[in-house]
Structure 1
Amino acid sequence: MSDSSVYEAVGGAPAVAAVVDLFYAKVLADDQLAPHFRTTDLPALKAHQRTFIAAALGGPEAYRGRPLSEAHAQLALTGEDFDKVVGHLAQSLKEAGVGDDLITVIATHLAPLKDQVVKAP
Protein backbone atom coordinates (compact mmCIF):
# COMPACT_ATOMS: atom_id res chain seq x y z
CA MET A 1 0.00 0.00 0.00
CA SER A 2 1.44 3.38 -0.97
CA ASP A 3 1.80 6.16 1.58
CA SER A 4 -0.87 8.31 -0.08
CA SER A 5 -3.31 5.42 -0.01
CA VAL A 6 -2.62 4.96 3.72
CA TYR A 7 -3.60 8.59 4.31
CA GLU A 8 -6.69 8.19 2.15
CA ALA A 9 -7.61 4.85 3.74
CA VAL A 10 -7.54 6.44 7.19
CA GLY A 11 -9.99 9.09 5.98
CA GLY A 12 -7.76 12.08 5.24
CA ALA A 13 -7.57 15.31 7.21
CA PRO A 14 -10.88 14.98 9.14
CA ALA A 15 -9.96 11.51 10.37
CA VAL A 16 -6.43 12.56 11.31
CA ALA A 17 -7.85 15.48 13.34
CA ALA A 18 -10.27 13.16 15.16
CA VAL A 19 -7.51 10.65 15.90
CA VAL A 20 -5.23 13.39 17.27
CA ASP A 21 -7.98 14.53 19.65
CA LEU A 22 -8.59 10.96 20.85
CA PHE A 23 -4.85 10.39 21.14
CA TYR A 24 -4.14 13.42 23.33
CA ALA A 25 -7.07 12.60 25.59
CA LYS A 26 -5.42 9.23 26.24
CA VAL A 27 -1.89 10.61 26.61
CA LEU A 28 -2.99 13.31 29.05
CA ALA A 29 -4.88 10.72 31.11
CA ASP A 30 -1.77 8.53 31.32
CA ASP A 31 0.04 9.23 34.60
CA GLN A 32 3.41 8.26 33.08
CA LEU A 33 3.09 10.48 29.99
CA ALA A 34 1.06 13.46 31.20
CA PRO A 35 3.96 15.15 33.03
CA HIS A 36 5.77 15.61 29.71
CA PHE A 37 2.92 17.93 28.62
CA ARG A 38 2.47 20.14 31.71
CA THR A 39 3.89 23.27 30.09
CA THR A 40 2.86 22.49 26.52
CA ASP A 41 0.64 24.72 24.38
CA LEU A 42 -1.77 21.89 23.63
CA PRO A 43 -3.70 23.54 20.75
CA ALA A 44 -0.40 24.31 18.99
CA LEU A 45 0.90 20.80 19.68
CA LYS A 46 -2.28 19.23 18.30
CA ALA A 47 -2.01 21.30 15.12
CA HIS A 48 1.61 20.28 14.77
CA GLN A 49 0.75 16.63 15.42
CA ARG A 50 -2.02 16.66 12.80
CA THR A 51 0.48 17.86 10.21
CA PHE A 52 3.12 15.37 11.33
CA ILE A 53 0.77 12.37 11.22
CA ALA A 54 -0.75 13.42 7.91
CA ALA A 55 2.70 13.80 6.36
CA ALA A 56 3.86 10.47 7.85
CA LEU A 57 0.85 8.74 6.29
CA GLY A 58 1.51 10.23 2.87
CA GLY A 59 -0.94 13.11 3.00
CA PRO A 60 -0.44 16.41 1.20
CA GLU A 61 0.78 18.25 4.29
CA ALA A 62 4.49 19.00 4.54
CA TYR A 63 6.08 18.52 7.96
CA ARG A 64 8.14 21.60 8.74
CA GLY A 65 8.99 20.96 12.35
CA ARG A 66 12.34 20.41 13.99
CA PRO A 67 13.98 17.01 13.58
CA LEU A 68 12.41 14.55 16.02
CA SER A 69 15.66 14.00 17.91
CA GLU A 70 16.00 17.74 18.51
CA ALA A 71 12.34 18.26 19.44
CA HIS A 72 12.41 15.46 22.02
CA ALA A 73 15.99 15.79 23.32
CA GLN A 74 15.11 17.54 26.59
CA LEU A 75 12.22 15.22 27.45
CA ALA A 76 14.34 12.20 28.45
CA LEU A 77 11.76 9.83 26.99
CA THR A 78 12.23 6.12 27.53
CA GLY A 79 11.49 3.22 25.25
CA GLU A 80 8.51 2.45 27.46
CA ASP A 81 7.22 6.02 26.98
CA PHE A 82 7.51 5.64 23.21
CA ASP A 83 5.74 2.28 23.25
CA LYS A 84 2.91 3.72 25.36
CA VAL A 85 2.50 6.64 22.96
CA VAL A 86 2.32 4.26 19.99
CA GLY A 87 -0.18 2.13 21.92
CA HIS A 88 -2.39 5.15 22.60
CA LEU A 89 -2.18 6.11 18.93
CA ALA A 90 -3.13 2.59 17.85
CA GLN A 91 -6.09 2.58 20.24
CA SER A 92 -7.17 6.01 18.99
CA LEU A 93 -7.00 4.80 15.39
CA LYS A 94 -9.06 1.74 16.31
CA GLU A 95 -11.69 3.90 18.05
CA ALA A 96 -11.83 6.07 14.93
CA GLY A 97 -12.73 3.00 12.87
CA VAL A 98 -9.35 2.19 11.34
CA GLY A 99 -8.90 -1.53 10.76
CA ASP A 100 -6.21 -3.63 12.41
CA ASP A 101 -4.37 -4.28 9.13
CA LEU A 102 -4.03 -0.57 8.46
CA ILE A 103 -3.00 0.11 12.07
CA THR A 104 -0.19 -2.42 11.55
CA VAL A 105 0.93 -0.57 8.42
CA ILE A 106 0.92 2.71 10.34
CA ALA A 107 2.89 1.14 13.19
CA THR A 108 5.57 0.04 10.72
CA HIS A 109 5.88 3.70 9.66
CA LEU A 110 6.34 4.78 13.29
CA ALA A 111 8.66 2.06 14.62
CA PRO A 112 11.82 3.48 12.98
CA LEU A 113 11.21 6.81 14.75
CA LYS A 114 11.88 5.30 18.17
CA ASP A 115 15.64 5.82 17.91
CA GLN A 116 15.06 9.52 17.13
CA VAL A 117 12.67 10.10 20.05
CA VAL A 118 14.09 8.00 22.87
CA LYS A 119 17.03 9.39 24.79
CA ALA A 120 19.77 6.83 25.18
CA PRO A 121 20.55 5.97 28.83
Structure 2
Amino acid sequence: MTIYDEIGGAEAVSAAVERFYERVLADPELAPYFEGVDVARLKGHQRLFIAVAIGGPERYVGRSMGEAHARLNIAPAHFDLVVGRLVDTLTALGVPAATIDTIGGALAPLKAEIAPDGEALAS
Protein backbone atom coordinates (compact mmCIF):
# COMPACT_ATOMS: atom_id res chain seq x y z
CA MET A 1 0.00 0.00 0.00
CA THR A 2 1.36 3.44 -0.95
CA ILE A 3 1.21 6.58 1.17
CA TYR A 4 -1.34 7.86 -1.36
CA ASP A 5 -3.63 4.92 -0.55
CA GLU A 6 -2.85 5.06 3.16
CA ILE A 7 -4.01 8.67 3.54
CA GLY A 8 -7.17 8.29 1.45
CA GLY A 9 -6.20 8.87 -2.18
CA ALA A 10 -7.26 11.79 -4.37
CA GLU A 11 -9.88 13.08 -1.93
CA ALA A 12 -7.35 13.33 0.90
CA VAL A 13 -4.72 14.94 -1.32
CA SER A 14 -7.27 17.51 -2.50
CA ALA A 15 -8.29 18.35 1.08
CA ALA A 16 -4.66 18.65 2.12
CA VAL A 17 -3.83 20.98 -0.78
CA GLU A 18 -6.80 23.24 0.01
CA ARG A 19 -5.86 23.55 3.67
CA PHE A 20 -2.17 23.89 2.84
CA TYR A 21 -2.81 26.89 0.58
CA GLU A 22 -5.03 28.49 3.21
CA ARG A 23 -2.02 28.43 5.52
CA VAL A 24 0.52 29.51 2.92
CA LEU A 25 -1.56 32.39 1.55
CA ALA A 26 -2.26 33.64 5.09
CA ASP A 27 1.46 33.78 5.88
CA PRO A 28 2.74 37.35 5.36
CA GLU A 29 6.22 36.06 4.47
CA LEU A 30 4.93 33.68 1.81
CA ALA A 31 1.90 35.46 0.36
CA PRO A 32 3.96 37.83 -1.85
CA TYR A 33 5.20 34.85 -3.89
CA PHE A 34 1.60 34.23 -4.97
CA GLU A 35 0.62 37.74 -6.05
CA GLY A 36 -0.78 37.61 -9.58
CA VAL A 37 -0.66 33.81 -9.63
CA ASP A 38 -3.61 31.69 -10.78
CA VAL A 39 -3.96 29.88 -7.45
CA ALA A 40 -6.66 27.50 -8.74
CA ARG A 41 -4.29 26.32 -11.48
CA LEU A 42 -1.44 26.13 -9.00
CA LYS A 43 -3.54 23.96 -6.68
CA GLY A 44 -4.14 21.57 -9.57
CA HIS A 45 -0.41 21.26 -10.19
CA GLN A 46 0.20 20.80 -6.46
CA ARG A 47 -2.43 18.05 -6.18
CA LEU A 48 -0.82 16.22 -9.09
CA PHE A 49 2.71 16.69 -7.77
CA ILE A 50 1.84 15.48 -4.27
CA ALA A 51 -0.14 12.52 -5.59
CA VAL A 52 2.79 11.38 -7.71
CA ALA A 53 5.29 12.00 -4.90
CA ILE A 54 3.38 9.75 -2.49
CA GLY A 55 2.66 6.89 -4.86
CA GLY A 56 -0.57 7.86 -6.57
CA PRO A 57 -1.47 6.50 -9.99
CA GLU A 58 -1.04 9.85 -11.75
CA ARG A 59 1.97 10.82 -13.85
CA TYR A 60 3.63 14.21 -13.48
CA VAL A 61 4.76 15.58 -16.82
CA GLY A 62 5.16 19.25 -15.90
CA ARG A 63 8.28 21.36 -15.75
CA SER A 64 11.07 20.49 -13.36
CA MET A 65 10.82 22.06 -9.94
CA GLY A 66 13.81 24.26 -10.76
CA GLU A 67 12.20 25.56 -13.96
CA ALA A 68 8.81 26.11 -12.33
CA HIS A 69 10.26 28.18 -9.48
CA ALA A 70 13.30 29.86 -11.09
CA ARG A 71 11.75 33.30 -11.61
CA LEU A 72 10.57 33.47 -7.99
CA ASN A 73 14.02 33.64 -6.35
CA ILE A 74 12.73 31.69 -3.37
CA ALA A 75 14.79 32.10 -0.24
CA PRO A 76 15.85 28.85 1.44
CA ALA A 77 14.14 30.02 4.65
CA HIS A 78 10.89 30.47 2.73
CA PHE A 79 11.19 26.95 1.30
CA ASP A 80 11.47 25.75 4.90
CA LEU A 81 8.40 27.80 5.87
CA VAL A 82 6.37 26.20 3.07
CA VAL A 83 7.42 22.73 4.17
CA GLY A 84 6.49 23.70 7.73
CA ARG A 85 3.03 24.78 6.57
CA LEU A 86 2.64 21.42 4.83
CA VAL A 87 3.68 19.57 7.99
CA ASP A 88 1.21 21.66 10.02
CA THR A 89 -1.54 20.86 7.52
CA LEU A 90 -0.86 17.13 7.46
CA THR A 91 -0.63 17.02 11.25
CA ALA A 92 -3.97 18.83 11.57
CA LEU A 93 -5.51 16.31 9.17
CA GLY A 94 -4.34 13.42 11.36
CA VAL A 95 -1.70 12.04 9.02
CA PRO A 96 0.64 9.77 11.02
CA ALA A 97 4.02 11.25 11.94
CA ALA A 98 5.90 8.49 10.11
CA THR A 99 4.01 9.32 6.91
CA ILE A 100 4.75 13.03 7.34
CA ASP A 101 8.43 12.18 7.81
CA THR A 102 8.39 10.17 4.58
CA ILE A 103 6.76 13.05 2.69
CA GLY A 104 9.28 15.49 4.19
CA GLY A 105 12.08 13.18 3.11
CA ALA A 106 10.77 13.29 -0.45
CA LEU A 107 10.65 17.10 -0.39
CA ALA A 108 14.04 17.77 1.20
CA PRO A 109 16.10 17.13 -1.95
CA LEU A 110 13.96 19.64 -3.86
CA LYS A 111 15.24 22.53 -1.74
CA ALA A 112 18.40 22.85 -3.85
CA GLU A 113 16.28 23.10 -7.02
CA ILE A 114 13.53 25.37 -5.72
CA ALA A 115 15.56 27.67 -3.46
CA PRO A 116 19.14 27.66 -4.70
CA ASP A 117 20.31 30.42 -2.39
CA GLY A 118 17.46 32.61 -3.62
CA GLU A 119 16.95 36.14 -2.40
CA ALA A 120 13.92 36.73 -0.18
CA LEU A 121 11.17 38.92 -1.60
CA ALA A 122 11.12 42.39 -0.15
CA SER A 123 8.35 42.68 2.42
TM-score for both structures, normalised by structure 1: 0.93
Aligned CA-pair RMSD: 1.1
Runs of 4+ in 1 over 4 A off after TM superposition: none
Alignment deviations for residues 23-81 of structure 1 (CA, whole Å, 9 cap, x no partner) = 00000000010000011101111011000000011101111211110110010101101
Which of 104, 112, 115 is equivalent to 2:112? 115
Within-5 A mapping of 1:61-72: 61-72=58-69
Question: Match for 2:43: what amino acid?
Answer: K
Paired-residue identity, %: 47
Within-5 A mapping of 1:38-57: 38-57=35-54
Question: Match for 1:84: what amino acid?
Answer: L
Report the equivalent of 1:75.
Answer: 72
Question: Match for 1:13: what amino acid?
Answer: A
Following TM superposition, by how much is the alpha carbon of 1:119 offset from its aligned partner in structure 2, in angstroms?
A: 3.0
Distance across 1 between alignment mates of 2:19 and 2:3? 19
Paired residues, number? 118
Structure 2 unaligned regions, length at least 5: 119-123
